Chains A and B, each alone.
Chain A
Amino acid sequence: MDLSFILIQALNGLASASSLFITACGLTLVFGVTRIVNFAHGSLYMVGAYTAATLVPRLLEMSYGPATFWAGIVLSALVVGLIGILLEILLLRRIYRAPELFQLLATFGVVLVFQDLVVQIFGPQDILGPRAPGLRQPIEILGRRFPSYELALIIAGPIVLGAVWLLLRRTRFGILVRAATQDRDMVAALGVNQALLFTGTLFCGAFLAGLGGALQIPRVAANTGMDLSVIAECFVVTVVGGMGSVPGAFLAALIIGQLQAFGILIFPKSTLVVVFLLMALVLAIRPNGFFGRPEATGGSHVVGIASRAPVRSGPLLMIAVLVVLAALPLIADPYLLKVATEILILALFAFSLQLLIGVGGLVSFGHAAFFGLGAYGAALAVKWLEASMFVAVPSGLLLAGAGGALIGAFLVRLSGIYLAMMTLAAAQILYAVAFQWVDVTGGDNGIIGVWPPAWAGPRAIYYLLTLAVTAIALFGLTRLIDAPFGYALRAARDSEPRAESIGLAVRRHRWLAFVAAGAGAGLAGALYAFSRGSVDPSLLGIPTSVDALTMLLLGGIQALTGPLAGAAVLHALRDWIMPLTPFWRLLLGLSIITMVLIFPRGLVGTVFHGREERA
């Protein structure tokens, strides 16, 4: 490998790092001030790219020149900034007082809405933007050609860093932003207009996302997959750098850029995994990223299941529900039974997440890791050991439990958003392994032919089987929550220092919670694999994790039955809307946003809360 090649490859890395930093910087600002993990940040980036790819050619027609081009880029970013303001005023402002995770759910809804809107407004075809005037010709470096636009990008990163630094250090707005990043409540107590501060921050964040997207148009065609592909990398950058830290994001972006540029030489087939391995490594050594601080106010915002007295009519009610569910095959057609089977499985999946979030206060963005491990465990047992379903399902459960033990061991050292991001990293590493270890997992094709034995094949039988297994698992998990173990977890959630001071082994309890939740989700995954006959990497993907969170939050994290209701509502809604219209994402997104606004405590939570208020 000669020097010129290494230099060029490093420059490639720098160019990617610059664009990644510009986008991630907005995410980290928004998180620092509002504590919102904005999943819609990637959508804003995508809108920026589409706007610029449409707007800039029109402007260039009017007057061709570098000034027009760069003005068009900034203009597009401003448009996106305005969208950010609208987002804050119309949606986020209304739910600041809801539990923090609810804002996350609202941003999931926004992601779905934007996915459909972009196709409607800009058309289905990818749009390649014009090349930058004045930067069309490549320049020669050590005998190799290098695009001059990439050099401009390399410069743009530090310029944005400088501008943000000036904004934060030299303006009153910046001082307030920094103050809010350190202690939001204090800033509010000092009489600062929070609404204005938040709107301003959202504008900055959206502007940077839009700028990051707009700068891509000469090298990347604006396409509908941009939002999700950038958001995962942005998370890595912000987490590795330390949430809320702009210089940290810059450093992290530089490292990731180089890793990707040289990674493809060493592992041309494992590009996906290196980024998340870096994140796992950094968090294992520095639990708050490079420049992040431990959260000063950690714990005070945590909500979840409170202690509760056993309801006397509870067991009777449960039995009644079970009987009704068991009678379903008498009236339902095969398709309805399939949907019902899936709802049961997803309910177990969401309930196992409830053990972590609602009971333990351990927010997981990567619960799909365990669901997928369970599904792959079962499918691999079928493929390589030719196991029957009765061996395959427990092996899925075991694999996921073991995964929970391993991942949990890394996780219990972390807290808050870093823990959440580490779970995401774990899920993404597993996703990358499933996706790129083609010989064992079948890669993107997955593993097919995972069918139940002939006698369990009919939908009604498989449904009853699933019902029995999930009922037992749910019962077991409920017992766990009501046992001293569950109380200890709750104590640690509400106040870690106090729980430790009375002698609770907080980390061990949390580790056990990960094992139990992992096994529960794994069981769900194994059942799911047999219900549809195949597994593929998407079971481990971000959308699956998001699904679990959505079901849990829709139902309500303060109620034990919340995730069950959430699973039923979300899956039924999706099943009902999807065939209805090609705009199902838009409708589903809007439904989620509406539910967030109307039921800020989740469906079940709001019902219970209303009852308590009246009482």
Chain B
Amino acid sequence: MAKTSMTRWLALGLGLALAAPTVQAQQAPIRIGELNSYSKWAAFTVPYRQGWQLAVDEINAMGGVLGRKIEIISRDDGATTGDATRVAEELVTREGVSFLFGSFLSNVGVAMADYANQKKILYIAAEPLTDAITMAQGNRYTFRVRPSNFMQVGMLVDQAKASGAKRWAIVAPNYEYGQSAAEVFKRLIKERVPGAEIVAEQYPALGKIEAGATVSAIEQAKPDGIFNVTFGPDLTQFVREGNSRGLFEGKTVLSLLTGEPEWLLPLKDEIPEGWTVTGYPWDEIKDPKHKAFVDTYRAKYNDTPRLGSLLGYVVVNMIRDTIERAGSVETEALVKALEDAKFDTVIGPVTMRGLDNQSTMGAWVGKLVLKGATGGMTEWKYNDGASFMPSEAEVKATRKD
């Protein structure tokens, strides 16, 4: 009696064991690892998370990809290189994710690129802007979506030509992103604006600007143009002190990212009007696809989109297309599917250049203007990234792989 029931149980167990993999193959979701500085840089990353969540919900509502749902396992990267690689390791070894995307700060992005290369796992850098990620530290496992410093600074320097400013001051946070942006600016301004010189450079530590002293130090050099790379709390202080002391009057100011709502909204009515910036005039983009995205986003979160929201949304949709084309979530297949892939996004076509794994996503360049109680952009234009990318020869000379 006991024996027969044991056999029966064993048979049942065997049957279940055999049946299970097929059931799983149809239903197990695709697990993707995501990490970002959700607590330290909440102003950008929280809207970014809402953006990718919106995309995931939409994709899964339409049945997912390859017949499987997408599941994103998200972690805080602590905004340091050490924490980020640690979290990445946890996502890969414990959670068993197929690949990784995310991160905000450039130095974290560089560390993640090294990690991806070491562990041979795909990493899609959504936000980090330093050129190193696709140039000096670039590798075949790391891809970047946003336009790099070289591309965004290039767009701004084009605007600088018309202004006639020759004496330039630089203020940039003293870490990978700021250093990289300042370096590119120095190079491009000398190449493209004959007679331009750098008369002052200030590199406050990230998040620790002494704004009053910094503003006076720049003023002392009597520049006629200022290139700003600060963002977040540093930017707010810099702008307020600069406004109080009239630093920006009669000067050409070029500023990276300042037109993005996440950095513009905290400035309220302190907007430094007339700055030439890269940014995101979300409420004025008339394209129907983009408008649909904005409407859905606003309906779902009862909040206006930031650039982070758009980025999160676009990246996850690109990931969806990549998985579909790769036909699997194996690293090699994904890397091949990403190289020179074309994507149709809510902001238009984007290509992932296989040469340096840099996408051709562009940026909006315009002037800051006060609109009611907050700031916005005027005379803006979307610059496709393709025409601002580093040349093939330069990429080949810089990349090690």
Chain B, residue nearest A541 (CB): B80
CB neighbours (8 Å) of B71 from chain A are none
23 CB-based A-B contacts, threshold 8 Å: A12-B210, A12-B213, A15-B212, A115-B39, A218-B240, A221-B233, A261-B213, A269-B174, A271-B210, A335-B94, A338-B90, A444-B107, A445-B81, A445-B110, A446-B111, A448-B111, A532-B86, A534-B82, A534-B114, A535-B82, A538-B82, A538-B83, A539-B82
A123 to B110: give the CA distance in the assembly, Å: 29
Within 8 A of A (CB), among B256-277: 262, 265-268, 270
CB neighbours (8 Å) of A448 from chain B are 81, 110-111, 114
**A533 on the interface (CB 8 Å rule)?**
yes
CB neighbours (8 Å) of A5 from chain B are 216, 220
Determine if A219 and B241 form an interchain contact, defined as CB atoms under 8 angstroms apart.
yes
**A225 on the interface (CB 8 Å rule)?**
yes
Determine if B210 and A219 form an interchain contact, defined as CB atoms under 8 angstroms apart.
no
Determine if B176 and A219 form an interchain contact, defined as CB atoms under 8 angstroms apart.
no
**A578 on the interface (CB 8 Å rule)?**
yes
CB neighbours (8 Å) of A261 from chain B are 210, 212-213
A134 to B205: give the CA distance in the assembly, Å: 32
Most chain B Cβ neighbours within 10 Å, of A12, A435, A539: A12
Q: Are A260 and B210 also in contact (CB < 8 A) when A12-B216, A444-B175, A448-B114 are? A: yes
Determine if A264 and B202 form an interchain contact, defined as CB atoms under 8 angstroms apart.
yes
Chain A, residue nearest B263 (CB): A126
A333 to B213: give the CA distance in the assembly, Å: 53
A8 to B244: give the CA distance in the assembly, Å: 13
Shortest Cβ gap from A466 to chain B (Å): 15
A residues with CB within 8 A of B: 1, 5, 8-9, 12-13, 15-16, 115-116, 119, 124-128, 138, 144-147, 149-150, 218-221, 223-225, 229, 260-261, 264-265, 268-269, 271-272, 333-335, 338, 435-436, 438, 443-446, 448-449, 451, 532-536, 538-539, 578-579, 582, 584-585
Given contacts A125-B42, A338-B93, 15 further A-B contacts (CB under 8 A): A9-B217, A115-B39, A125-B265, A126-B266, A128-B240, A219-B211, A219-B237, A260-B210, A264-B217, A333-B93, A444-B107, A532-B89, A534-B85, A538-B82, A539-B82
CB neighbours (8 Å) of A1 from chain B are 220
Q: Are A119 and B39 also in contact (CB < 8 A) when A138-B244, A147-B244, A221-B233 are? A: yes
Determine if B233 and A138 form an interchain contact, defined as CB atoms under 8 angstroms apart.
no
Q: Are A445 and B232 also in contact (CB < 8 A) when A1-B220, A12-B213 are? A: no
A536 to B111: give the CA distance in the assembly, Å: 10
Determine if B42 and A533 form an interchain contact, defined as CB atoms under 8 angstroms apart.
no
CB neighbours (8 Å) of B93 from chain A are 333-335, 338
Determine if B76 and A443 form an interchain contact, defined as CB atoms under 8 angstroms apart.
no
Determine if B202 and A534 form an interchain contact, defined as CB atoms under 8 angstroms apart.
no
CB neighbours (8 Å) of B214 from chain A are 264
Chain B, residue nearest A265 (CB): B217
A147 to B244: give the CA distance in the assembly, Å: 6
Shortest Cβ gap from B32 to chain A (Å): 15
CB neighbours (8 Å) of A223 from chain B are 207, 232-233
Cβ-neighbour of B89 out of A124, A338, A435 (below 8 A): A338
Shortest Cβ gap from A585 to chain B (Å): 7
Cβ-neighbour of B245 out of A16, A138, A265 (below 8 A): A138
Determine if A128 and B213 form an interchain contact, defined as CB atoms under 8 angstroms apart.
no
Shortest Cβ gap from B60 to chain A (Å): 21
Determine if B114 and A533 form an interchain contact, defined as CB atoms under 8 angstroms apart.
yes
CB neighbours (8 Å) of A229 from chain B are 207-208
A597 to B267: give the CA distance in the assembly, Å: 43
A116 to B244: give the CA distance in the assembly, Å: 33
Determine if A127 and B212 form an interchain contact, defined as CB atoms under 8 angstroms apart.
no
Chain A, residue nearest B49 (CB): A582
Within 8 A of A (CB), among B345-381: none
Determine if A579 and B75 form an interchain contact, defined as CB atoms under 8 angstroms apart.
yes
Determine if B75 and A128 form an interchain contact, defined as CB atoms under 8 angstroms apart.
no
Shortest Cβ gap from B142 to chain A (Å): 13
A536 to B78: give the CA distance in the assembly, Å: 13
**B201 on the interface (CB 8 Å rule)?**
yes
Cβ-neighbour of B266 out of A128, A269, A449 (below 8 A): A128
A289 to B193: give the CA distance in the assembly, Å: 53
Determine if A536 and B236 form an interchain contact, defined as CB atoms under 8 angstroms apart.
no
A219 to B115: give the CA distance in the assembly, Å: 40
CB neighbours (8 Å) of A119 from chain B are 39, 42
**B38 on the interface (CB 8 Å rule)?**
yes
Cβ-neighbour of B208 out of A12, A272, A579 (below 8 A): A272
Shortest Cβ gap from A528 to chain B (Å): 9
CB neighbours (8 Å) of B201 from chain A are 268
Cβ-neighbour of B237 out of A125, A220, A268, A334 (below 8 A): A220
Determine if B236 and A128 form an interchain contact, defined as CB atoms under 8 angstroms apart.
yes
